[in-house]
Amino acid sequence: MNFFRKLVEKKAAEPVIMEFEGIPFVVIRRRVRYSRVEFKHSGLRVIVPRGIDPLKVLEEHRESIINKYRKLISQVETAREKTLTHWTEAEFKTLIASYIEQYSRQLQVRVKEIRFRKMRRRWGSCRSDGIITFNRYMQFIPGPLIAYIVFHELAHLIVRGHNQRFKRIIALQFPHYRQLDKELNLFGLKLLT
């Protein structure tokens, strides 16, 4: 029985770890129509339907994958150089509360409740009913980035998505928001990898 056939016979939920051009990747078999290649904090993932050779999919996107991998490695190296802030829980929650008070007045929005929990993929989330949840990992990032996240989540009480109107609201307070997004990405890499 060849190697590919063995991969096909594995359960869909069971990831297979392989290597392509020296890049480790995980094969995830799902009930999907089209294959896709993703770079996550954890590395390269190839999501394929049953019966599709993941190496063939990778070969089709070889140049793009190698370029993205080099960029990811560079970002991880840059992220390692970032210095974490160590707010106490009381300092962190006080800082969040002060930014919420300031920005909710400025944006003329009402926050119903603030929650905190550890999240792997987001710095915060905002529900339409005014409940905002912040990632506990924010406790390790600098104050200006915390301010940006708070403002971002409060802006979602005005505009739900990330459309042009939302970006204009963000840019009024944080004209350099693209740079802040890059910084948050680096801190995410440092904290979550």
The domain tally of the chain equals 2
Residues 24-53, mean pLDDT to the nearest whole number: 86
174 lies in the same domain as 94: yes
Give, in order, the Cα–Cα distances in Å from 13 to each of 1, 29, 47, 120: 22, 7, 11, 20
57 lies in the same domain as 95: no
131 lies in the same domain as 50: no
| Cα separation, 172 vs 166, whole angstroms | 10
Structural domain boundaries enclosing 23? 3-80
Q: What mean pLDDT value characterizes the chain?
A: 89
Residues 79-93, mean pLDDT to the nearest whole number: 95
pLDDT, one tens digit per residue, over 113-133 is 999 999 988 999 999 999 999
pTM attached to this predicted model: 0.78
* Domain termination residue (choose one: 17, 52, 80): 80
pLDDT, one tens digit per residue, over 10-38 is 444 566 788 888 888 888 888 999 998 88
The CATH code of the domain that includes 110 is 3.30.2010.10
pLDDT, one tens digit per residue, over 5-17 is 444 444 445 667 8
